[in-house]
Structure 1
Amino acid sequence: MTEGAVPWWRRAPAAAHRTWVRHPRWSLATRGAVAAALAWLVGVVAPAPFSEYPYYAPLGAVIATTSTLARSVRESAQSVGALLLGAAIAIVVDTVLAPGVLSVALVVGVALLCSGWRVFGGQGAWVANSAIFVLVLGRGEDAEYVGAFAGLVLVGAAIGTAVNLLLPSLLLTPSGLALGGLRDALVEQLDDLAGWLDDQGPLDPEEWERRRHALSPTIEAARAAVAHSQEASRGNPRARRHGERARSQSREAHLLGTTAEVVDEVVRLLVGWEAAGRDDVAFGPRLRPELAAAVRALADALRPPADDAASDAAAASAADDPGARFVRAVDRLQAAVRESRQGSDDDHLVAGALVVALRRAADVLTG
């Protein structure tokens, strides 16, 4: 039965799940909404004076649920500490200065200085927020207000952490998509470079500098996505069921990160030494085809396998492995550089550096 013949109500759950895991922001919003609602209910039924300020409990829940499971406890503690420090600053200033412009300026100034302390991490802004709240809203009942404020935020953060524990997000799909995007970008870059080496003579410095810089955001996005996914795996009960997938992504991230560095180094060297007008080029007409073949082999080694990659023909011999073909291409390039050096007075230093860079990619591909 073709996909079009399957009733929509049977396809809808799978499609919804694919969309859900591709967009972790929806999961975050759901967890935050659930935690905030539960925290509000707890604040409403809490005894006085807590029940007079129930809206502070959802604040703590939001602080906790917008972090990964590993960070939620730490950031909750940091935010509560920042809140208490801000409240203390406001109380001290309120006891020595009358309400007015000077007291507000002093509270905000001191709070902003303290908000930069490393112990608060990314939660330092709560020092100033808390100081202003306590100075303006807690006047006359500082102790009661501060206790309710900090206590409800702490309770809300505990609820948010519990929701994170019950409904953790593993984030493997977004990081996998980011790695796939990086892989495709590297393959495209390598294919274009090989084609240029085959057909177009010296590299255009402006064109390839633009390409190098255009690749940087894709590299950084993939690194950030993988780092976030690895952090989300710490303490996550779902990580045990998806451990091999997470480890596979970690290996792929290392491979693609190293390859991206190699591609950048190759392009940088070629742009500097194969530009038009230079006499001391890195590769002449004799070596250039071997370099193009090695670059193209690297692109083939990175290229995602086709759907029928498990066929008997593809699995017949390890010699058919794209990684092995790339290693052989680098070996041929190295031999050609060595032979060319013996018959020439040129140092071939840049050619040797390019071989070393490509060898690094071969090591990580076959390691």
Structure 2
Amino acid sequence: MRILHTSDWHVGKVLKGQSRAADHITALRALVDVAEAERPDLVIVAGDLYDTATPTAESTTIVTRGLTALRGTGAEVVVIGGNHDNGKGLDALRSWADAAGITLRGAIGKPEEHLISGTTKDGEEWRLIALPFLSQRYAVRANEMFELSAAEITQSYAHYVGNLINHLAQGFGAGTVNLLTAHLTVIGATMGGGEREAHTIMGYAVPASVFPTSLHYAALGHLHRAQAVNGPCPIRYSGSPLPIDFGEEENLAGAVIVDVTASTAARVREVPLPVATPLRTVRGTLEQLATLDTGPAWLRVYVQEAPRAGLREEVQELLPKALEVRIDPKLLPSAGSGRAEAARAGRSAGELFADYLDQRGHADEATVTLFHRLHDEVMHS
């Protein structure tokens, strides 16, 4: 059978105030084109369809149309919730999904609901463990978390995930293609650069040993960099279909095609997807920045100029697609190099602010003048 593995769409992402909706539409159209060309039997979407637990109507439209189009290629489609998704909110769409022929598991429910069976058009049977994102609080009872150390909580979380997988794997058959999809961090994998740190720290990581040797392929979501993970079976992150944040600008945007049978090992191919608006980091003085041709990219700019009021506006006039403007860290004073903190007693707010700017290497008379004006308006309003 052939599988198309994708994850971490993060539809609804707003980058420094800029909507990525057009980029997501382009990426999902390209993903559907891949499905039409490759004709997979099964499409797995391994979580984080949305960037937020409260998606807008526009985001919901983009996601549901994308899933419907994937189903329209003739493939079975299985979707799980991720840590950015509202699991129960996704499950509220299950009536729509069932009518559309899409299998949706937003949050953990009864164990039997998470072992999904199917048969390809050529008669090959498959079994799929579908595990949405599991929070620590769900896996480890709240009262236990107060009594356990951080290491014990981590062990308990991994133990719970492993036990759940082993229980569901009992439904695997000797002559079936045995699959798993989950939204989690596996020890040894590399972060992509834009994940939510609180849910990727080691407390949420599990060892690869939680996956049984009877698995033909584990389709994971959560980490945005496409990669394989060493383990007792083929384990892989598909990566995101587009860079989510500037920390991911070097990541390959794409999906994964997997060919596997019950008696042969999985053969994996990475399929790149076009990025309509790439992300790019540039550095330089104003004079140097003025000579750059950055094309359609959204920009993170490190300015190699002394800090001053209005510098951001000058950069954005030169580079209208600069979403993030910072002073190059090389020009900032190192920690501890500033003079000792001045005494506060008897000093005005303006004097303290000017001293703070001086300590931080941002001394600028125009900025201090603007602070005085704002302070006076607030104090006399």
Q: TM-score range by the shorter chain?
A: under 0.3
Q: TM-score, normalized by length of structure 1?
A: 0.26
Q: TM-score, normalized by length of structure 2?
A: 0.25
Instruction: Answer 1 or 2: which has greater helix percent.
Output: 1
Instruction: Answer 1 or 2: which has greater strand percent.
Output: 2
Choose between structure 1 and 2 for higher RCO, CA contacts under 8 A separated by at least 6 residues. Answer: 1
